Structure 1
Amino acid sequence: MSQISSPPVTPSTHPAPALSDHITAELRRYDEHLHDVRGLAEGTRRQRVRVVRRLLQEQFADRPIDVAKLHPDDVRSFLARQLEAHWSHAKASLLASALRSYFRYRATCGDRVGRLTAVISNPVHWKLASLPRALNPDDADR
């Protein structure tokens, strides 16, 4: 890894629960990877780290991180909970890209994550989805 590293990115909007040392260290390594290897901007890194922090806190708050113990249903449930209250295309895309990015990083660490990334689908966003299928007679007359 390069000698250049940035401090871990932390969200400032909501106070997060205290993170264990192993989660803090994992997020720092992931952020360094995003910065040094992927060359991502701070804002993008911050968003991705925020999503991964929530996943790791839910799954590994009281134990060491072992990605092999994550199951596809864990990832599906996490995505569903994150989208439950405020679903939007943008939020779904952000969650999907952040999780795929983290699992790609874990693959570079030697973890087998294919079964986890397989459950993360790209949200479909049709450009013309808000248009009506057909005009009603009054609209057609106008």
Structure 2
Amino acid sequence: MRAALHHLLALPFFADAVPTTAPDPIARELHKFHEFLRDTCGLARSTCVYRVRHLEAFFASCTLNESAESLILTIPAVEAFLTGLARRHWKPSSLGVICTSLRSYLRFRALHGDDTRLALSTMPLIANWPHRNPPKVLSDIQIERFLQAFDINTASGMRDYAIARCILDLGLRGDEATHLTLDSIDWRRGIVTLQHTKSHRAQRMPLPEQAGAALARYLREGRPQTDSRSVFVRHRAPFGVPLSVAAIRNAMNRAFARCNLDDQFCNTHVLRRSTATRLQRANVSIKEIADLLRHRSLNTARVYARVDIERLREVALSWPGSTS
């Protein structure tokens, strides 16, 4: 429902009804925090929105004097807020995201001169073990089945196959594939420049041969005539419009269905995880995997160190008392 309701923001009558001023201290603080996330941290719009929403919910749970006058995140107030969400059956992973939003606000207050060191050090840690199992990825055989599910003799099939190759070979996110333009590709030097990344930083990457061949064939034989500079566009009315993230996701899901893998996999992120897993099995370092996937922290890519089960068995210690 959230995705559907976001379309209301584009309607003129709804935009006029949204107040443009921040009359109370809390609204002004939320507005400044949003500007900090957007302009200073360079976070994506969706990240800024949900972090501000979490802070707004926290202020709403406090008393009026506590939230309107001091706007300080006290540990008892944070614990009471998180406990209330847990009693409403919020998942630990969601509570951890809220803690990240509150820590971000404390760093924002620190830049304004507040001493938030004690609050940051005592922020609750949510016990959660989401990565107790290796990430779900496609095997080499399943990847071959997936790539063979595209009919490259049709224009839309060439387009979807090129998208799949870009995600698998370059580790692109769905949003990055959507914003890939003709100007992003340097064919002579074999370089792809990603301008629209999650970190809002331009990234230059080598163009693999198979992905380049799929892109070249699509641009020459399958892409319709259009003034749009986007690489991947619609082949049905409205023609020439850049593909949305949802359209790319649906194209990959249809391919999973055609190769009878839809009961195990869906969406585009599993392809990105599969890329990291293949690199890990090829003895590529975690640092190089993090650079390719454009992760700011090595901890984000460290999960792939637990994918190679056979190599982990070689370094595992024998169980005490066992014969092997």
Give the structure-1-normalised TM-score: 0.67
Matched, 1:103 2:106: yes
The C-alpha deviation readout for 1:57-116, integer Å capped at 9, x for no partner, is 222535633145x43111111111122212313212211110111111111111122232
The C-alpha deviation readout for 1:19-59, integer Å capped at 9, x for no partner, is 96111100000000000000011110111001100112222
Pick from 129, 134, 139 the counterpart of residue 125 of structure 1: 129
Q: Which residue of 1 aligns with 2:60?
A: 57
* Cα distance in 2 for residues equivalent to 1:122 and 1:114: 19
Change (3 A) 1:103 1:125: same
Answer with 1 or 2: which has the greater Rg. 2
* Cα distance in 1 for residues equivalent to 2:91 and 2:81: 16
User: How many residues are matched?
Assistant: 112
Contact 1:35 1:41 in 2 (8 A): yes
Structure 2 counterparts to residues 13-32 of structure 1, below 5 A: 21-32=24-35
Change (3 A) 1:50 1:128: same
Structure 2 counterparts to residues 41-120 of structure 1, below 5 A: 41-59=44-62, 61-62=64-65, 64-68=68-72, 70-117=73-120, 118-120=122-124
Contact 1:72 1:116 in 2 (8 A): yes
- The worse-fitting range, judged by mean Cα deviation, of 45-54 and 105-114 is 105-114
Give the structure-2-normalised TM-score: 0.31
Which sections of structure 1, spanning at least 5 residues, go unmatched? 1-11, 14-18, 130-142
* Cα distance in 1 for residues equivalent to 2:130 and 2:53: 27
Q: Which residue of 2 aligns with 1:3?
A: none
Q: What secondary structure does 1:65 align onto?
A: helix
Partner amino acid for 1:58?
S
Contact 2:92 2:127 in 1 (8 A): yes
Contact 1:51 1:98 in 2 (8 A): yes
Partner amino acid for 1:66?
S
Q: Which residue of 2 aligns with 1:139?
A: none
Partner amino acid for 2:87?
E
* Cα distance in 1 for residues equivalent to 2:128 and 2:26: 32
- Aligned-pair identity (%): 26
Higher RCO structure (Cα 8 Å, ≥6 apart): 1
- The two structures, once aligned, show a CA RMSD in angstroms of 2.5
Partner amino acid for 1:37?
T
Which sections of structure 2, spanning at least 5 residues, go unmatched? 7-21, 134-324
